[in-house]
Each structure stands twice: as structure tokens, then as C-alpha cells.
Amino acid sequence: MRDVLLIEDLLPRSQLVVLQHHIERAKIPAIDGHVHLGQWGGRWAVEDVEALIERMDRCNIKAMVNLDGGTGDQLKRNVERYREPYPNRFAVLMTPDWATCARPDWEEELPRQLEKAIAAGADGMKIFKSLGLRVRDERGDLLRVDDERLDPLWARAGELGVPVLFHIADPVAFFTPLDRFNERWDELHQHPNWSFYHPQYPTFMDLMEQQANLLAQHPEVIFQSAHVASYAENLQWVGELLDAHPNLYVDISERIAELGRQPYTAREWFIKYQDRIVFGTDRPPLGPWYEIYFRFLETFDEYFPHGPEQPPRQGRWNIYGVGLPDEVLEKIYHKNAEKIYPRLA
Amino acid sequence: MRDVLLIDDFKPISQLVGPEHYIQRARFPVVDAHNHLPVWHERAQGIEWDDIVAGMDQVNVRTIVNLSGGTGERLQQCLDTLDRAYPGRFATFCNVEWEGVAQPGWAERAVEQLARDVEAGAKGLKVFKRLGLRVRDTDGKLVMPDDKRLAPIWDKAGELGVPVLIHVADPVAFFRPLDRFNERWDELHEVPDWHFYGPEFPAFETLIECLYNLIGHHPGTHFITAHVGCYPENLGFVSQMMDEHPNMYTDISARIAELGRAPYSAREWFIKYQDRILFGTDVSPTPEWYRIYFRFLETRDEYFNYSPGQIPGQGRWRIYGVYLPDEVLEKVYHGNAERLIR
């Protein structure tokens, strides 16, 4: 017996004996609406595209939306590697080059980048969370998500009829002090630069407000807000956001830890907003995550880990399945994504 | 930021925002079928029983079953102080005196004592977990719950028409190594005495087997197993035992942490066995504690604390309500207890 125990050493094993289902294949063909397949530090996220296709077939993933198109050469390489050889299996999103914002003419330049990228084969635009947290304008000021100087960019997406997938903010706990009361202590301790609790950053609720403003300013654009609109901790709020903005879809990527610890509320939310929710993982597609996502969506299993890591990567708790009915699963797994990315239908 | 964090210091605050319901009063009158009010013990010095009753009134607890009646003189003291002083508000159970167990004549004396205690007003017999873990016969061997030498006691309880509320074993984790993989680390670290892992103790599985042998051997006796069949971690097994033994009942005391972390299974179990489950707490009879139990049984609240403390006492997790329908609640809150404990 030990007298003291460090948090990182505590890996409690559940003594519960409950039904366990292993779902290797999605019950209905799925589109992973949030994946990173690009080059990170020079290496492709997936080295072997054939192996990826095999994995997709095995898991019943009919298509993926790859968010790593960027611009220029990067986009070209992503289009050539995924979209061209497998046109119905991959969509690729571009991301504007935010370094452009240091130039005086950036307001006109960003829409041009989007237009060029769409012509070069991109299916839409991905906005990373750097917007709102780190991207600065030519004067060095933090650029707000709802800054009107970005209007031409969003407007161009609307004119081109392409979707905008954005990620704003991060889990609420990343914006609160990193102390012994922080429920994401392990993760923030692992990645201290994910803590946005600092005067240089906007508050979490400020970012949520910016998100809502952006949606209201551009009802003509189809938006996919990543990670349950970044506020999976408050499904009531997300529900109201969906009610207020018919141009909004949300993906569930990286948030089954949150959804699965409030399974009663989550199940009702899935059913109520079944036409607006998109399956997605944001996880390495060759890893063990699909089975966990399928289990969460398809079963009523209880108290199971939300990821393969020990201790759990996103918080020390276990989750519950929401056992969605087939007609809801069908929309979340692929029909809604097909509305956003019609080429994948 | 700190580089290391001791487990004792980690008190995560949930960022979830969702509906929260605080049930001030139980929806139906409640019988707390599992509590300990040892009025003869020094711990009870200074307790104002009027205050306890006032607290019960506040939350709609009609009756508390006091399982620590002891026997003989002590029992009388309990009956005088509680049962007779507050008619209908307390029901005291007697206990078996294990001293000299299995010596010639012991069983006969125990049976006579039980008869006298019931005659005096005890409403049932409570058997503590010491049986199977610590009670030893004259050879120094542990006496297991299904020991044939004890059989006359259980038969007598059946004959007298009083239930036997029995607690055997303890949480599964208490029978596993106390290492960093133990899900009850905090609690066992706090109370090392509750750790039953080692050659001097029977295995958890052995104790459970003995419990159900016992129940099977005495179909004419009503057994109320404490703490969800003494195996709340495995509701499938408990259900099977309830199917096999119609004389088996159970209380839910001190186990909402387990039930509430498997809320889908727990809800089905409550509904299926609604005629055989008794409300109970086994904690200090305060409004604060009762309200947590009510929240668990009556609401659909999610991810809430099952105890008043900041670090949950029985494992670092949170629970979910099972929102039982009224007809089930009524039985669990008082109907079943009233049928069994007269």
C-alpha cells in the first residue's frame, strides 16, 4: 500500500459487470465529417492511402472530409492524394493563409484565396481555432471571428455555394485556471499551451458570442461548427444556437466524452436536432476510435471509456451510449453530411 | 500551475451545464429500511431524538429501521428510547451475539434469545458482515454465512415471521489489491480496515456464494440482502438470484454510487423487481443525505455527486438519476418495507 498517490498514477479499474458491445462496423454507412489527413511536420497523417481505404471499408466509412487542404501546393498535394484517385470517398477543405492578414490588402486577398482553392478542387473552407485566439490583423490586434473585415471572405463562400467548417474556442475547462479544481487537469498538464486562461485570450463566452454573431451575419452561408459548436458542456445553449440559425450544422468530433457523460440530455438533443448533426471524429483514422464512436451512438452500454488512453485523455470519467434509432443514425452518419458536401452523396 | 498533483488534492469541478433538481421532500412517505441508531453506544450520547424526528418530518421520512438494536438489555434500551417513545417512527432490529458461536448449546441459546427479542418488540434480525469475515468458531475457523450450525436461527426467524436483513462481504474493490488500479483507492486509504484482500479473508466470490446458499437453504425465511444483493456491481447476477429465490429482497442502502453509474440497468432492475426492493441509506439520517437519495430515485439529473463531500467517498465518479415511475417509487419508498417489516 502507498501513502500518497499522484493523480497520473491512479488508473482505476471498474468492477462493474455490465453488457459490452464491440461495434466494428457502423450500422449504416458513415461519413467522417471531420478528419485530418494532411501533412504535419512533413509527414502525412496517413502514410498508406490503400490501408486507409481498407480501414474505411472495414468500418463502413463511405467517405471522409479532410480538413488539411490549406492553400497552394499543400492543397494540390491533398487533392492529388485523396480526391483525385477516390473522388467519392474524400472531400478536401482549404484554409486561408492567415499570415496574409499582416498585409494591408488582406481583406480582398482572403476571398481570392478561397476562390482559387475551390477552382483547384477544394470542397469548402476550414477555419481553425487560431481565428479568435491567435490570428492578428495588420496592426497586430487580435482578429475577432465576427470582425466585419472578414465579411468578404464569408460572403464569397456564400456566392460560391461552399460550406465553411469552423472551430472556435476549446473546452470550457481550457479557459479556467489550471489548478486542482480543473476537470481537464491531466490533458492541460500534458499540453500547457492548450490553456487559454490568460488575459491575452478572450473569455470562452466571448468566443461563443462571436460565433453566434458570425452565424447571424451570414445566413446565406452553410456553416458546420466543429465539436458540437464548441460548447458540448451546455447542450441547451447549442440547441438554442441551432434554433436561431438554420444555416448551422454541428459535428460531434472529439466530444463524445462530453456527450456521453450526459446521455439523457444528449439523446434528446440528437433526436431533436437529427437533421443538423454530423458524425465526425477528428481522430487518427487508423487508430481504435471508430469502434468507440459507434458504441456511443448505437448502444446503451454503460460506464465505458471514451478513448483508448489511460488515464483518459479528455477527463477522468466514463461514458454512456445513447442508443440512437436507425432513422436518426442514418442522418447523422451520412445524410446530413451529404447535404453539406453533395459530391459525397 | 503545479507539476505534480496528489490524488487527495484533485477535486475537479464539472463544467457541464444542465438541468438540476433538488428534491426537498420525498414524493411519497419513506421507510429507511437500513440505518443504525445504536442508542446504547457512546456515539449516541448527546443525540436529540426529537431533532432526528424533526429532520425526518422535513424530508418525508416516516420510519427509520434501526438495525443496531443489539439484544437483551440493549435492545430494551433502543425500544424504549425510539420505538415506544415515537410510535411508528422507528423499528428496531435485534442482532445475534456471536460470542461462543458453535459451542454446544450456542444455537439453542441464540434461538431462544431471538424469540425473546422479537417478543420484546424487535421487528427483525440484522446480521452484520462480520459473519464470513471475522466471526470464528472455537477451532479458530471463520464461520461462513451458510454454516449449517447457524441454520436454527434462520428457521426461527421464518417461524416468528420476522425478516433477516443480512450483509455479507463488501464492495468488490475491497477484495482486490490496494494499488493504483483500485477504484476505491481513496476510501481504502482512508479506512484500511475495510480492505479484505489477503489470505486471511475469503474471496468475494466465496462469500457471495455462501450468502445465496443460505437464502436457498431457508425458503421459509424472508431475507433482505443489504446493499443491492451485496453485489451491486453486477445487477445481472443479483437479478438471477432474485429470480431463483422468491424469499430474497434487497435494500439499496449505501449503493447509489453503484446503481447510479449504471443507470440504464438500474432503472430496468428497479422496475422489474419493484416488489422486492427497499429504500435504505445506511448513512447519517440527515436531510442533506436523504435529498441525494431522492434525487437519484426521482429525477433524470445527470453527472451529480452521490454524497455531500467534495471527493466522493465511494469512488471518483458521478451518478445519474433513474426517474422511477410513481407506482414503483411508492413500493420502494414504503410499500415493500411495510409488507415485510411489521
Phi–psi pair at B200, nearest 5 degrees: -80, -10
B304 touches chain A (CB under 8 A): no
What's the number of domains chain B is made of? 1
Q: Which residues of B touch A233 (CB under 8 A)?
A: 15-17
Q: Which domain holds residue B33?
A: 28-283+327-340
Q: Does A15 touch chain B (CB under 8 A)?
A: yes
Interface of A with B in 233-272 (CB under 8 A): 233-237, 258, 261-265
Is residue B125 within a helix (H) or strand (E), and if so which, with residue range? strand B125-127
Residue B93 counted as domain residue: yes
Grid cell, residue B128, equals 452484520
* B208 within some domain: yes
d(CA A56, CA A69): 20
pLDDT tens figures, A177-188: 999 999 999 999
Q: What is the CATH number of the domain that holds B67?
A: 3.20.20.140
- Provide the sign of the torsion angle of the four alpha carbons B104, B106, B111, B112, taken in this order: positive
Predicted local confidence at residue A4, as pLDDT: 81
How many angstroms away from the CA of B209 is the closest CA of chain A?
17
Q: Mean pLDDT over all residues of chain A?
A: 96
Query: For every residue of chain A, which 3-state class applies, written as one string?
Result: CCCCCEHHHCCCECCCCCCCCCCCCCCCCEEEEEECCCEECCEECCCCHHHHHHHHHHHCEEEEEEEEEECHHHHHHHHHHHHCCCCCCEEEEECCCHHHHHCCCHHHHHHHHHHHHHHCCCCEEEECCHHHHCCECCCCCECCCCCHHHHHHHHHHHHHCCCEEECCCCCHHHHCCCCCCECCHHHHHHCHHHCCCCCCCCCHHHHHHHHHHHHHHCCCCCEEEHHHHCCCCCHHHHHHHHHHCCCEEEECCCCHHHHCCCHHHHHHHHHHCCCCEECCCCCCCCCCHHHHHHHHHHCCCCCECCCCCCCCCCCCCCECCCCCCHHHHHHHHHHHHHHHCHHHC
C-beta atoms of B17 and A6 within 8 A: no
A vs B, Cβ pairs < 8 A, gives: 140
pLDDT at B45: 87
Contacts of B322 in chain A (CB under 8 A): none
* Non-local CB neighbours of B73 within 8 Å, separated by 6+ positions: none
Contact check, Cβ <8 Å, B316/A189? no
For testing the chain A interface, which of B2, B10, B189, B317 should be mutated: the one with the most A CBs within 10 Å?
B10
Q: Does some domain include residue B312?
A: no
**Mean pLDDT (whole number) for A111-140:** 97
Q: Is A232 on the interface with B (CB under 8 A)?
A: no
In this structure, is residue B236 part of a structural domain?
Answer: yes
Residue A2: is its pLDDT beyond 60?
A: no
Is the backbone peptide bond immediately before A311 cis, with ω within 30 degrees of 0? yes
C-beta atoms of B236 and A181 within 8 A: no
Write down all domains in chain A, each with its CATH number in brackets. 24-344 (3.20.20.140)
What's the first-to-final CA gap in chain A, in angstroms?
58
Q: Report pLDDT digits (tens) over B53-67.
A: 999 999 999 999 999
How many Å from the N-terminal Cα to the C-terminal Cα in chain B? Answer: 59
- Is residue B302 in some structural domain? no
For residue A225, pLDDT over 70 is answered with yes
- Position B210 pLDDT exceeds 90: yes
Q: State ipTM.
A: 0.94
> Does the CB of A203 have a partner CB in chain B at under 8 Å?
no
Burial (CB < 10 A; 0-12, 13-18, 19+), residue A197, is: middle
Cβ-proximal residues to B197 (8 Å cutoff; 6+ apart), any chain: B174, B175, B176, B177, B178
* Alpha carbons A141 and A102: distance in angstroms, whole number: 10
Q: At what angle do helices B204-217 and B151-160 cross, to 10 degrees?
A: 50
From chain A, the residues in CB contact with B203 under 8 A are none
For the segment A304-312, the average pLDDT, to the nearest whole number, is 94
- A198–B contact, CB cutoff 8 A: no
User: Chain-centre distance of CA B173, in angstroms?
Assistant: 17
Q: How far B43 CA sits from the closest chain A CA (Å)? A: 29
Residue at B143 is within a domain = yes
Helices (H), chain B: 49-59, 72-78, 106-120, 130-133, 151-160, 185-190, 204-217, 226-229, 235-244, 256-259, 263-272, 287-298, 326-330, 336-340
pLDDT band at A1 (very low <50, low <70, confident <90, very high): very low
Cell matching residue B184: 476505491
For residue A178, give the chain B residue with the closest CA. Answer: B1
Average pLDDT over chain B reads 96
